[in-house]
Chains A and B, each alone.
Chain A
Amino acid sequence: MMSEPVASHPSFLNLNGIVKRFGDFTAVDGIDLTVKQGEIFALLGSSGCGKSTLLRLLGGFDQATEGQIHLDGECLNGLPAEQRPINMMFQSYALFPHMTVAQNLAYGLKRAGMKGREIAIKVDDMLERVQMAHLSGRKPSQLSGGQQQRVALARALIKGPKLLLLDEPMGALDKKLRAHMQLEITRIIEDLGVTCVMVTHDQEEAMTMADRVAIMDAGRIRQVGTPQEIYEQPNSRFVAEFIGSVNVLRGVVERDRIDAVHLHCAELSGNIYIGHGLTCHIGQQLSVAIRPEKAALSRHRPAQSENLSEGEIVDIAYMGAQSVYHVKLSSGFVFIVNLLNSQRTMALPYQWGEKVWVYWAPDATVVTEAQ
């Protein structure tokens, strides 16, 4: 998949059949996962999907009911949090309120038995790295959200952990600061080359920061891949709908050739043409996903006989960089199309109630799960 700088550790972190039950409730239900050294790996899912539980199992705050965790060839099962070479940046940071920034950073080093001089050097070095040296004497309550985050990151990195865990790293920041800190944190982590597993419910955050993403649902992993793979080649309707918005159509296989498949689609009152071969049979039901930005609008009938339908614009959302058009097809299906506003003023903008054609290219479709 991705070429990593250290190829000698194909699987630095290894999760094997991890199950965590709380009484009757199974929070994590059989997870197998490998993370490469130096990789930033994101666990993405909605709340209650088990991603936070999995992170706590990694951190050692809870122990797995079944399965093994190996880090750098060492089994972590049964080791409590204080003995694992893993540090965590907590959600809303969990900075010690009664200690200064420098004392917060020194805390972990003191526990490791380091002496004053050595601690001071390491703390100064780390504060420099996160650009917080000038505020080392402040209490956490006297810092802004972004500054608190830098301190929390520094505190999690100062012991030189083999694995860094981030729990909803941007959850407590406002939107503008978020974009800046995502890049900043990624830069610091990559500078140090530390392997990182993060948990988030924010897909944008996962896609910006992570090398690879795992989509979680109901305690299981639905798909693992690079952000691009997850977005462009979702392996199920669930993943397709979870990441971004998507138009999902259903079709019945009519013609199955080696390099193309024709589906009959009731919602489209026409056919869907898929420009690559599939393993399917005539009469089989398939789900087809089309991303809104991969479809286009036209006032005149496009010169293609498939992958198109006529409809009426029922809603337009102007969002600055792009506009979102809701087109109601004659079957009643509402098809969403995103158009980039590349010019400041369109000569003849589309209007509410206008009759338009929706169409897309044969390679724009992703066949998700056969039903």
Chain B
Amino acid sequence: MKLNRIHWPSLSASTMVLGVLFLYTPIVTLIFYSFNGSERVNVWSEFSVHWYVELFANEALMSAVWTSLKLAVSSATMAVFLGTLASVALTRCGHFKGRYLFMGMITAPLVMPDVITGLSMLLLFVNMNELVNWPEGRGMLTIWIAHVTFCMAFVTIIISSRLRDVDLRLEDAARDLGAGTLTTFCTITLPIIAPALIAGWMLAFTLSLDDLVIASFVSGPSATTLPMVVFSSVRMGVSPQINALATLMILAVFITSLLSYQLVKKKAN
């Protein structure tokens, strides 16, 4: 008994410390070196915000950030819209013919290697360009379409599982009180599944922001996303600007999650 009391907490505490170290050492290192005055990434010289200034002056990088953000917001929004429609079809339209096929096809991109998705998308766009002249060339639009396609799979999983949990009696009650199908969906179902919509949107946003492989296949000379810029610049040696950029992104993520946590807490009270 005594043995247990002494050993288990210290073991679990040390496991936790190890785990946290494992997860966060790279990130802390990255933040640390973003304030490094030295040109060389792994040699500390002095504290400086030099690389932040450089970062904002780097037009190529800033435009890639802007492109990536626009893509992430627009593809996440579209993915949530389409994912919601697909989820409604899967959970509220009974056992229509081909339901299982539809379900399988929607979730297939989850397990598809990015290289395959990217390549097949590229071939599709090339062929479509030749046959119907749309989409013309490759750029933002083609990346957007590709991102919506693979993000929608994730979003559909999240939203449909939430939709399945919604008590159908709530929708019956709304109809009973005089609401048509669309009104019921907008006033009852949507607000109840809103957390899933937000979670799905955020996941899609991250997936799109993060994607390098698919974007590389389907982008054109006019559109370069942030991961593409970072990846290509790393091949010529890591610039501390990237550290600065990453630090800013971590800060943004931190603030966003803090805000959403506060929002959830406020709503719960």
Tell me, yes or no, whether A binds B. yes
A interface residues (Cβ-Cβ under 8 A, vs B): 59-61, 80-83, 86-88, 90-92, 94-98, 107-108, 111-112, 155-156, 159
List residues of chain A with CB within 8 A of the CB of B40: none
State the 10 A-B residue pairs at the shortest beta-carbon distance, nearest first.
A108-B177, A111-B178, A94-B169, A94-B173, A81-B175, A98-B191, A90-B169, A82-B175, A82-B178, A88-B176
| Alpha-carbon separation in the docked complex, A98 to B193 (Å) | 10
List residues of chain A with CB within 8 A of the CB of B173: 88, 90, 94-96, 155
Task: Check A82 against B191 for contact (C-beta < 8 Å).
Answer: no
Knowing A108-B178, A111-B179, A111-B183, say if A61 contacts B172 (CB, 8 Å). yes
Partner of A107, one of B172, B177, B180: B177
Shortest Cβ distance from B175 into A: residue: A81
Q: State whether the Cβ of B41 lies closer than 8 Å to any Cβ in chain A.
A: no
Main secondary structure of the interface of B (DSSP, over half): helix
Knowing A92-B169, A94-B167, A96-B170, say if A81 contacts B176 (CB, 8 Å). yes
Inter-chain contact count A-B, CB under 8 Å?
60
Query: 29 pairs across A/B with beta carbons < 8 Å?
Result: A59-B172, A60-B176, A81-B172, A81-B175, A82-B177, A82-B178, A82-B180, A83-B178, A87-B176, A88-B173, A90-B169, A90-B176, A91-B169, A94-B167, A94-B169, A94-B170, A94-B172, A94-B173, A95-B173, A96-B188, A98-B192, A107-B179, A108-B178, A111-B177, A111-B178, A112-B178, A155-B177, A156-B176, A159-B178
| Alpha-carbon separation in the docked complex, A257 to B172 (Å) | 58
Shortest Cβ distance from A155 into B: residue: B177
Question: Per-residue CB proximity of B148-175 to A under 8 Å, as 1/0?
Answer: 0000000000000000000101101111
Shortest Cβ distance from B178 into A: residue: A111
| Alpha-carbon separation in the docked complex, A141 to B30 (Å) | 45
Q: Interface size of B by Cβ–Cβ distance < 8 Å? A: 17
Known: A81-B172, A88-B173, A91-B169. 20 other contacts (CB 8 A): A59-B172, A60-B175, A61-B172, A61-B176, A82-B176, A82-B178, A82-B179, A82-B180, A90-B173, A92-B169, A94-B169, A94-B173, A95-B173, A96-B188, A97-B170, A107-B179, A111-B177, A111-B178, A111-B183, A155-B177
Write the nearest CB–CB distance from A348 to chain B, whole angstroms. Answer: 56
| Alpha-carbon separation in the docked complex, A159 to B191 (Å) | 24
Write the nearest CB–CB distance from A329 to chain B, whole angstroms. Answer: 49
Task: Check A107 against B174 for contact (C-beta < 8 Å).
Answer: yes
| Alpha-carbon separation in the docked complex, A107 to B173 (Å) | 10
Write the nearest CB–CB distance from B39 to chain A, whole angstroms. Answer: 55
Write the nearest CB–CB distance from B197 to chain A, whole angstroms. Answer: 13
| Alpha-carbon separation in the docked complex, A107 to B170 (Å) | 12
List residues of chain A with CB within 8 A of the CB of B172: 59, 61, 81, 88, 90, 94
Shortest Cβ distance from A90 into B: residue: B169
| Alpha-carbon separation in the docked complex, A80 to B171 (Å) | 13
List residues of chain A with CB within 8 A of the CB of B169: 90-92, 94
| Alpha-carbon separation in the docked complex, A95 to B177 (Å) | 12
Interface centre among B175, B177, B180, B191 (most CB of A within 10 A): B177
List residues of chain A with CB within 8 A of the CB of B187: 107
| Alpha-carbon separation in the docked complex, A97 to B177 (Å) | 16
Shortest Cβ distance from A99 into B: residue: B191
Shortest Cβ distance from A111 into B: residue: B178
| Alpha-carbon separation in the docked complex, A111 to B184 (Å) | 10
Question: Per-residue CB proximity of B50-94 to A under 8 Å, as 1/0?
Answer: 000000000000000000000000000000000000000000000
Shortest Cβ distance from A161 into B: residue: B176
| Alpha-carbon separation in the docked complex, A91 to B175 (Å) | 15
Knowing A91-B169, A98-B192, say if A80 contacts B177 (CB, 8 Å). no
Task: Check B170 against A159 for contact (C-beta < 8 Å).
Answer: no
Write the nearest CB–CB distance from A130 to chain B, whole angstroms. Answer: 17
List residues of chain B with CB within 8 A of the CB of A82: 175-180
List residues of chain B with CB within 8 A of the CB of A90: 169, 172-173, 176
| Alpha-carbon separation in the docked complex, A220 to B173 (Å) | 27
Task: Check A159 against B177 for contact (C-beta < 8 Å).
Answer: yes
List residues of chain B with CB within 8 A of the CB of A83: 178
Task: Check A61 against B170 for contact (C-beta < 8 Å).
Answer: no
| Alpha-carbon separation in the docked complex, A159 to B173 (Å) | 13
Shortest Cβ distance from B267 into A: residue: A98
List residues of chain A with CB within 8 A of the CB of B191: 98
| Alpha-carbon separation in the docked complex, A88 to B183 (Å) | 19
Task: Check B177 against A87 for contact (C-beta < 8 Å).
Answer: yes
List residues of chain A with CB within 8 A of the CB of B188: 96
Shortest Cβ distance from B177 into A: residue: A108
Write the nearest CB–CB distance from A163 to chain B, whole angstroms. Answer: 11
Write the nearest CB–CB distance from A338 to chain B, whole angstroms. Answer: 39
Write the nearest CB–CB distance from B202 to chain A, whole angstroms. Answer: 20
| Alpha-carbon separation in the docked complex, A112 to B178 (Å) | 7
Write the nearest CB–CB distance from B265 to chain A, whole angstroms. Answer: 15
Interface centre among B174, B176, B179, B188 (most CB of A within 10 A): B176
Question: Per-residue CB proximity of B186-212 to A under 8 Å, as 1/0?
Answer: 011001100000000000000000000
Interface centre among A83, A95, A97 (most CB of B within 10 A): A97
| Alpha-carbon separation in the docked complex, A59 to B175 (Å) | 10
Shortest Cβ distance from B169 into A: residue: A94
List residues of chain B with CB within 8 A of the CB of A155: 173, 177
Shortest Cβ distance from A165 into B: residue: B176
